[in-house]
Amino acid sequence: MPQVTIIVGTQWGDEGKGKITDFFARDMDYVVRFQGGNNAGHTVIVGDQTYKLHLIPSGVANPNVINIIGNGVVIDPRVLLIEINNLIQQNIKPRLLISQRAHAIMPYHIAMDEALSEHQNELAAGSTKRGIAPVYADKAYRHGIRMGDLLEPKIFKEKLEKAYQFNVGIITKVFGRQFDRAFETIYHEYLGYGEKLRQYICDTELELFNAYKFGQKIMFESAQGMSLDPDHGMYPHGTSSNNIAGYSEVGCGVGLNLPKRIIGITKAYVSRVGNSPFVTEISDEIGEKIRQKGIEFGTTTGRPRRIGWLDLVQVRQAVRISGITEIAITKLDVLGGLKEIKLCVAYKTNNKIITEMPASLLAMREARPIYKTMPCWNNFDEKLKTKIKAGGYSQLPDEIKNYLKFIEQQIKCRIEIISFGPDRADTISAN
Residues designated as active site: 14, 42
Exposure string for 198-216, b = 16+ CB within 10 A, e = fewer: eebbbebbebbeebbeeee
Smallest CA-to-CA distance from 318 within 248, 233, 261, 409 is with: 233
Angle, alpha carbons 269-273-277 (nearest 5°)? 80
- Cite the beta strand spans of 235-351 per DSSP E: 260-267, 269-272, 306-311, 326-330, 340-349
Torsion angle, alpha carbons of 411, 327, 305, 296, to 10: 140
DSSP assignment letter at 373: E
Residues 6+ apart with CB under 8 A from 264: 8, 9, 10, 315, 318, 319, 322, 324, 326, 327, 328, 413
Which residues are 330's β-sheet partners? 267
Neighbours of 228 (CB within 10 A): 30
- What is the total residue count of the chain? 431
Angle, alpha carbons 349-354-360 (nearest 5°)? 60
CA distance 9 to 3: 20
